[in-house]
Amino acid sequence: MQPDFASVFPLRVGRVHECCGLGSAAFAAMVAASGQGGALWIRPEQRQKEALYPVGITSVFEPSRMLMAQTKTEVDSLAVAEEALRDGALSCVLIDITRPLDLREGRRLQLAARAGGTTGLCLIPEGMGSNAAETRWRVRPLFDPESEVSTLMRWEIIKNKAGILGVWNVRWSDEARRVQVVPPEDARSGSQGQHTQGPRG
């Protein structure tokens, strides 16, 4: 039996989660939009060639609520993330990760998130991940033959400390301003979306 989507999303507050796949940036924007406050997106210098502009997430998350930080190294990224998570002034901290985190680094982020009551999300390459992560999601866009501009995606939770795993087809609802589950019969699970809306990373 498919678990209730509401039991896993929005993501658990005060924890650090992970996501991977072609839809990671859109997933991150929707995670940020699920919070009530501002968000910080931390990207190391080597990822800047993959430009990510706040205007690209306007349909999901108000750009004025998003702070962008560029760091020289991944060590700097983790240091900034740890401070922002612990501070608690923001509802969400997003971190682009380019290498596997060791258990110590993962635990430090978790402790900081718990202290600040902040949601953390690491955008990781496929196949990477920290044992300390609360959940890990694989996200990919889905082709939508009925729309050239679509947020239709498949979200799969592949690691969960709470034990709940599942797969959902979802899309962003501009009217409701939230993620909505799409019934399987309404989702076309064809090729990965070339007609997708939102940021990529």
**pLDDT tens-place string over residues 99-154:** 999 999 999 999 999 999 999 999 999 989 999 999 999 999 998 877 666 789 99
d(CA 177, CA 30) in angstroms, rounded, equals 9
Q: pLDDT tens digit string along 149-159?
A: 678 999 999 99
Q: Return the pLDDT at 194.
A: 37
Whether the CB-CB separation of 36 and 180 falls below 8 Å is answered with: no
The CATH number of domain 5-186 is 3.40.50.300: yes
Q: Which of 129, 112, 120 has the alpha carbon at shortest distance from 31? A: 120
Q: Would you tell me how many other CB atoms lie within 10 Å of the CB of residue 56?
A: 19
Domains of the chain by residue range = 5-186
| Res. 83: pLDDT tops 70 | yes
Q: Is the pLDDT of residue 165 over 60?
A: yes
Confidence of residue 196 (pLDDT cuts 50, 70, 90): very low
In the three-class reduction of DSSP (H, G, I as helix; E, B as strand; rest coil), residue 117 is classed as: coil
Q: pTM for the full model?
A: 0.88
pLDDT at 80: 98
pLDDT at 52: 62
